[in-house]
Amino acid sequence: MKFKRTILACIAIPFFACKSDTIVNKEVIVPKNVILLISDGTGLSQISSAFYFKDSSPNYARFKDIGLINTSSSREDVTDSAAGATAFACGVKTYNGAIGVADDSTAVKNLVEIVSLKNIRTGMIATSSITHATPASFFAHTISRGSAEEIALHLAQSEVDFFAGGGLQFFNKRKDGRNLLDALKEKKFTIDTTALSDFAKIRSSEKAGYLLAANDMPPAAEGRGDFLSKATTLAIQFLSKDDAGFFMMAEGSQIDWGGHQNNGPYLVSELIDFDEAIGKALDYAEKDGNTLVIVTSDHETGGFTLSAKKKKREDGTEYNDYSEVGMTFSNGGHSATLIPVFAFGPGSEEFVGVYENNDIFEKILKVTKWRGQELK
């Protein structure tokens, strides 16, 4: 009998010890920083291309917590980037073309507005104009994605602390004659329109903005180089300098454009460039331990497929060469395929599963506890 009791105790003690450890860990870890990386127009095939065309191991391979989102907008099965980003930024499904407004065209609070109330610092990066639909949804409220000058004005009026991208003409060559660079400087921005600077140069600035192209940035292979990775690192350094906690969004904007053009090499070079930026975010998150990194996309573009490469025999007949990957597209627009979500860091397990694109917003607020009482 005594022998039996001893065996029971041996089994029971480690079981309970293990269980209580798990509970303690879950309660303690609340991410202080969130880095949301959005690759516009990127489905599973686009992501898979990094595994075949990148010389080194893709940073996508570093994630363990993975989910899937349905990206349909409020009125359309196939979303556009405006509705897709508004779902992430504001937590609502809206109509295609809407920036930070609900289906009834009323403004909805975005993550920048919500976290700024808690003195959390915010940053926006894009390889398009900074007024383009994806970044715009995080700081602007307009009924149409086309109003770039209005969106620029909203950026100047927003609580964003760091931004980098193109779009200078919407700030300094406006139809209303206003020079928004002056307005930004009045808001204590250090503005650079020539190149990204070293962190040392902006360390003592309250806010920093980079507008490095008149409209969209050039493709990575045509002069943009490693802007996205550098801007991601610079934003992390700048936003973490006073340890207040930060939320930043960085977009690989042009993967979508490679898809629209059915241009495989363009798409892949932009995807690999985005994967490099993922690496910078993960390197920081690994060291920091308090940073949640979420990588996802608004939708897929082009109906892109990695198929066996089509080749021709000497007699002119076609065959599929299974030893080589070929790139094919089914259309020049967006598609409705489910989109992967990759998460790393404290709270990452919340992003596992199959859910709607606007749930990302709620999940970020839930794991960070950033939603204030006043906003409930």
Site string for Mg ion, 234-253 (x = CB under 5 A): -------------------x
User: Of 78 and 181, which has the nearer Cβ to Mg ion?
Assistant: 78
- The residue count for binding Zn ion (CB under 5 A) is 1
User: Of 142 and 253, which has the nearer Cβ to Zn ion?
Assistant: 253
Min separation Cβ 160 and Mg ion, Å: 17
Min separation Cβ 323 and Mg ion, Å: 35
Residue closest to Mg ion when measured from CB atoms: 134
Q: Which does 358 bind (CB under 5 to 8 A by kind): Zn ion, Mg ion, none?
A: none
Min separation Cβ 69 and Zn ion, Å: 17
Q: Which does 216 bind (CB under 5 to 8 A by kind): Zn ion, Mg ion, none?
A: none
Looking at 33, 79, 96, 134, which residue binds Mg ion (CB under 5 A)?
134
Amino acid residing at 301: T
User: Of 256 and 350, which has the nearer Cβ to Zn ion?
Assistant: 256
User: Which range, of 131-139, 201-209, 231-239, 250-258, touches Zn ion by CB under 5 A?
Assistant: 250-258
Q: Is 353 left (phi over 0), alpha (psi -120 to 50) or beta?
A: left
Reading the block at residue 241, the tokens are 């300098």
Min separation Cβ 230 and Zn ion, Å: 25
Q: Which does 253 bind (CB under 5 to 8 A by kind): Mg ion, Zn ion, none?
A: Mg ion
Q: Is 81 in the site for Mg ion (CB under 5 A)?
A: yes
Half-sphere exposure of 238 (CA within 13 A, CB side): 35
User: Which range, of 15-23, 125-133, 252-260, 286-294, touches Zn ion by CB under 5 A?
Assistant: 252-260
Min separation Cβ 40 and Zn ion, Å: 6
CA–CA separation, 15 and 8 (whole Å): 11
Min separation Cβ 21 and Mg ion, Å: 42
Min separation Cβ 334 and Zn ion, Å: 6
The residues, any chain, with a CB within 8 Å of residue 361's CB and separated by 6 or more, are 87, 88, 89, 90, 91, 111
Q: Which does 233 bind (CB under 5 to 8 A by kind): Mg ion, Zn ion, none?
A: none
Decide: 135 and 165 in contact? Cβ < 8 Å: yes
Site string for Mg ion, 34-53 (x = CB under 5 A): ------x-------------
- The residue count for binding Mg ion (CB under 5 A) is 4
User: Which range, of 48-56, 193-201, 251-259, 364-372, touches Zn ion by CB under 5 A?
Assistant: 251-259
Min separation Cβ 151 and Mg ion, Å: 13
Which of the residues 252 through 281 are near Mg ion (CB under 5 A)? 253
Residues forming contacts to Zn ion in the complex (CB under 5 A) are 256
Residues forming contacts to Mg ion in the complex (CB under 5 A) are 40, 81, 134, 253
